[in-house]
Amino acid sequence: MMPLSRWLRSVGVFLLPVPCWVPLERWLCPLRRPSLVYRGSVLGAWHSGRCWCQAWTEEPRMNGDQKLDVYDQAKEKFLQHFPQIVKVLTEDDMKCPDTGDAVARLREVLEYNAIGGKYQRGLTVLVTLQALVEPRELDADSLQRALTVGWCVELLQAFFLVSDDIMDASLTRRGKSCWYRKPGIGLDAVNDAVLLEACIYRLLKFYCREQPYYLNLIELFLQTCYQTEIGQTLDLITAPQGHVDLSRFTEKRYKSIVKYKTAFYSFYLPVAAAMYMAGIDGEKEHSSAKKILLEIGEFFQVQDDYLDLFGDPSVTGKIGTDIQDNKCSWLVVQCLLRASPVQQQILQENYGQKEAEKVAQVKALYEDMDLPAVFAQYEQDSYNRLVALIEQCASSLPPAIFLRLAQKIYKRKK
C-alpha cells in the first residue's frame, strides 16, 4: 500500500514537495503569503493548502526519534546563543566591586537552571517566526532577537521551576538535584528565582527596545507571568498541604489549573511572541492561535501528569511526587470519576501521604482501574481532536506551526 505522505504528494500540484513551489512563490511575489494579510480567498486557500501539505507530508515525529525536524535543526543555533545571553546579563556588572560577587552568583544560577531541558518553549519562538516571515527578512539581527526572546521564555520557565520545586519539595529536576537542594542554597533559591525573572526584562530591553513590538512583548510576558502565578495559586489552594479533600478534584478545577499554570506560558507565549515579532498583532489571529494552543497545553499537562507516575525517571529526569503532594492531577481526577465506593475509600486513605507503601497503594489502584489504557485512548483522541481544531481555526496562520507542536509532544516519553 502506498504511504499516505507519498499519496498526498501525488494527487496534484498543490501537494508537491516544497522545492517545487519555489518558482511559483517567486512569480506570485507580493501575494506570497496572502492568508496572513487576507488578500483574496483563492490565494489564501492556496497558502493554507500548501501549509497543510507541508505539515501532513511530514510524518509525526515520535519524540524526535526520526530524522531531524525543524526544532532539532534550530537547537544548535539556540544553544550557541546561550553564552551570549549570560555575557549580556553578567559581563559588565561582574566588574563592579559592589555587586561582582552577586552577579557571579547570578551566572551560576543561570548556568544551572536554564540549561538541561528540552528547550521546546524557547525553540518555538524561532521556529514560529521562521514560518511567518520570508527567509530573506530574517537577517542576522532579527535572528539574534528571536533567539533572545526564545531564551527569555526559557528563563521564565526556569523561574517557575525553581519556585515550584521549593513549594512541592521536589527532589530532582532535569536529571539532577533541584537547585534549592544543593548544599548552601536552601531557601535562598527564592531570591535566585526572582533574579531569573528579572533577567527577562533586561534582555528584552537590551535587544528589542527599538523594535515596534517591544511594548507588546513586555505586556505579553507580564500577563503570562500573572496568568501562570494565578494557575499556581489555584493548584496550591486546591490541594493544601496536610489536608486531603478529594471532592475538590473536579474536571472543571483541573482544566482551570492546567490552562493558567501550564498552557499560557508553555504554548501561547512563545507563539504569540513570534507573531508580534512578525508584525501580526490582530485580535483575530491571536484569538485563533490561543484557542488552539490552550488545547495543546492541556494535552501536554495530561501527559505530564501521567509521566509523573508512570514515566521512567531516567528518561523524564525527575522523580514524580504528585501523589505525595496531594496534587489535583489528571490521574486522580480520572480515578474519582470511575471509582467505586471501596476504591474511593482506598484513595482517601492513601492519597496525599508521604509513605512509600501508601504511594504504592494509589499506583496499584490506578493500574487496577486500567488508567494507563484510559490515558492511551485519551492521547490518541486528543491528538485527533487537535488536528481537527487546527484545520478549523488556523486559516489565518500557517497550520504547520500548530501541527508541529502537536506532533512534537504526541506520545512523548519525557
Q: How many helices (H) and strands (E) does the chain have?
A: 19, 2
Q: Annotated catalytic residue: which of 39, 107, 118, 174?
A: 118
3-class SS of residue 58:
coil
- Using an 8 Å Cβ cutoff, are 255 and 333 in contact? no
Which of 61, 78, 160, 304 is the catalytic position?
304
> Is 168 among the residues known to form the active site?
yes
CA distances 260 to 73, 185, 222, 227, 239, Å, are 30, 29, 14, 5, 16
Strands (E), 132-240: 172-173, 176-177
d(CA 138, CA 146): 9
Task: Indicate if 159 belongs to the active site.
Answer: yes
- Let me know if 58 is exposed, middle or buried by CB neighbors in 10 A (0-12, 13-18, 19+): middle
Q: Across-strand partners of 172?
A: 177
9, 77, 107, 168: the catalytic one is 168
Distance CA 320, CA 303 (A): 13
**Catalytic position from the list 164, 174, 182, 248:** 164
How far apart CA 110 and CA 83 sit, in angstroms, is 10
β-bridge partners, 173:
176
173 as an active site residue: the answer is: yes
**SS3 call for 370:** coil
State yes or no: is 235 an active-site residue. Answer: yes
Active site residue: 160, 264, 300, 375, which one? 300
Which residue out of 33, 145, 259, 261 is catalytically annotated?
261
Give, in degrees to the nearest 5, the angle at Cα 323 between 319 and 327. Answer: 105
Q: Measure the CA–CA gap between 214 and 203, rounded to whole angstroms.
A: 11
At residue 173, what is the residue type? Answer: R
Contact present, 200 and 155 (Cβ < 8 Å): yes
User: Active site includes 118?
Assistant: yes
Distance CA(162)–CA(155), nearest Å, equals 10
By residue count, the chain amounts to 414
Which stretches within 135-261 are classed as H helix? 140-168, 189-208, 214-238, 251-258
Q: Of these residues, 78, 82, 159, 267, which one is catalytic? A: 159
The catalytically annotated residue of 267, 290, 299, 305 is 305
The secondary structure of residue 263, as a DSSP letter, is I
Question: d(Cα 187, Cα 183) in Å, to the nearest integer?
Answer: 11
Nearest-angstrom CA–CA distance, 104 and 57: 48
- Amino acid, single-letter form, for residue 347: L
Catalytic-labelled residue, pool 173, 318, 408, 414 = 173
Is 261 known to be catalytic? yes
Catalytic residues: 118, 159, 164, 168, 173, 235, 261, 300, 304-305
